A = this chain, B = another copy of it.
Amino acid sequence: MSFDVTSQSMRFEAPLPLRSGAQIRDYSLAYETYGQLNAERSNAVLVCHALNASHHVAGRYADQPKSEGWWDNMIGPGKSLDTNRFFVIGINNLGSCFGSTGPMHVNPDTGRIYGADFPVVTVEDWVDAQARLLDALGIDTLAAVMGGSLGGMQALSWTLQYPERVRHAAVIASAPNLNAENIAFNEVARRAIVTDPDFHGGHFYEHGVVPRRGLRIARMIGHITYLSDDVMNEKFGRQLRNGTAIHYSTQDVEFQIESYLRYQGDKFSEYFDANTYLLITRALDYFDPAGAYGGELRAALARATAKFLLVSFSTDWRFSPARSREIVKALLDNRRSVSYAEIDAPHGHDAFLLDDARYLGVVRAWFEGIAAELGGAA
């Protein structure tokens, strides 16, 4: 059973300086909250989202029965992250197309839609913006910050940018940075979008078109990298769409996997903004806390004082367990408190969003520990 939630929005007039040297002013952040902030204001948990997600993390909108949030299996009353005990905040990042100010909104400096002129935002910028939202909500310190994939990068970055404001951090199915292959897949997806004639240099809004072709290709590539080889073979294998008949066509669908990917691409291209796709994949590319430390992750993480939970999934080849172990090692080298679970799951990177008793159990136990630390307050 899910629970009813409401989307909220907060406007920020003061300019937010960005890592690129640019700034953004007069922007809004969409967010949701679940549960009650306790009197000590000590039980807040911030949940950060990945590429194709939003502040709508859990629960559903009263008028939309099938609108469960993207981590609804994880978060809610009595769930692993228990909203009876914690005050959970979902936030939509700057540049997104799901409510916060993004490329499809009007640039207050020009009166025109941002489009490709929306400033490049980084994981660090998002964390800064999230910190301002917490300020506005009167929350000084987070009991925990949690995220998967790109959301895990934000959780990690929180512990480095605002170590004194984060007591615990859950970094799930994530990595300390993208490797060359990760960047390569992002780049192909971006090229598909940017070279779509309907992209118009990122100012397609003015032309009344959407670079659907490019978005479809981008999503198809993404989907392949989210799934494991094994789960693809199990779900689709070499199954033909039409029973046993091959049609000998280079352009029509022959295999179920093609049909599935085309469907995912089509669906995505109808709601996702092309400029947002570029921005978010670039934020992924740029994230590299060790970069300023000559590649020494240990040195980069020395600032972190939070207690960590790291979770990885055995068949995740996008952000493999080895990448999580890099973070674990760097934290342990700094004598930080780290719990690490490597979950044997067949679903690849997608596993972090799926039901898995061991995975949900690990997160539950971790939050129970945090609740115990909070004592009667949680």
A: which residues have CB within 8 A of B? 19-22, 116, 119-120, 177-181, 183-185, 187-188, 190-192, 194-197, 202, 213, 216-217, 220-221, 223-224, 227, 229, 232-233, 235-238, 246, 248-251, 254-255, 257-258, 261-262, 265, 275, 278-279, 281-282, 285-286, 288, 291
Contact = CB atoms under 8 A, between A and B. Distances in A.
Contact of A180 (B22, B232, B254, B262): B232
13 contacts: A180-B236, A180-B238, A180-B255, A180-B257, A181-B229, A183-B257, A184-B232, A187-B258, A195-B216, A197-B197, A248-B282, A249-B282, A254-B286
A348 to B, nearest CB: 10
A180 B217 contact: no
A243 to B, nearest CB: 13
Given A181-B232, A250-B120, A187 B238 contact: no
A317 to B, nearest CB: 8
A220 B310 CA distance: 33
Nearest to A320: B229
Given A192-B192, A255-B183, A257-B183, A178 B238 contact: yes
B261 A188 contact: yes
Contacts of A184: 220, 223-224, 232, 257-258, 261
A202 B183 CA distance: 31
A276 to B, nearest CB: 10
A217 B278 CA distance: 16
Q: At the interface, is chain A mostly helix, strand, loop or mixed? A: helix
A118 to B, nearest CB: 9
Q: Which 5 A-B pairs have the closest CB atoms?
A: A20-B248, A250-B278, A180-B232, A120-B248, A195-B213
A250 B279 contact: yes
Contacts of A116: 250-251
* Residue among A188, A216, A220, A285 having the largest count of chain B Cβ atoms under 10 Å: A188
Contacts of A21: 248
Contacts of A196: 213
Contacts of A224: 181, 184-185, 188
A192 B219 CA distance: 12
Contacts of A251: 116, 190, 194, 202, 278
Given A197-B197, A257-B184, A238 B177 contact: yes
A46 B93 CA distance: 58
Contacts of A255: 180, 183, 187, 285
A326 B180 CA distance: 31
B282 A179 contact: no
Nearest to A278: B250
A185 B120 CA distance: 29
A203 to B, nearest CB: 12
Contacts of A20: 248
Contacts of A246: 286
Nearest to A227: B181
Given A185-B224, A250-B120, A191 B217 contact: yes
A20 B119 CA distance: 52
A192 B217 contact: yes
Nearest to A185: B224
Contacts of A258: 183-184, 187
Contacts of A249: 120, 282
Contact of A220 (B188, B281, B282, B285): B188
Nearest to A265: B191
Nearest to A291: B238
Given A188-B224, A195-B216, 18 more contacts: A21-B248, A119-B248, A120-B248, A178-B238, A180-B235, A181-B224, A183-B238, A184-B223, A184-B224, A188-B221, A190-B251, A194-B251, A217-B217, A238-B288, A238-B291, A248-B282, A251-B278, A254-B286
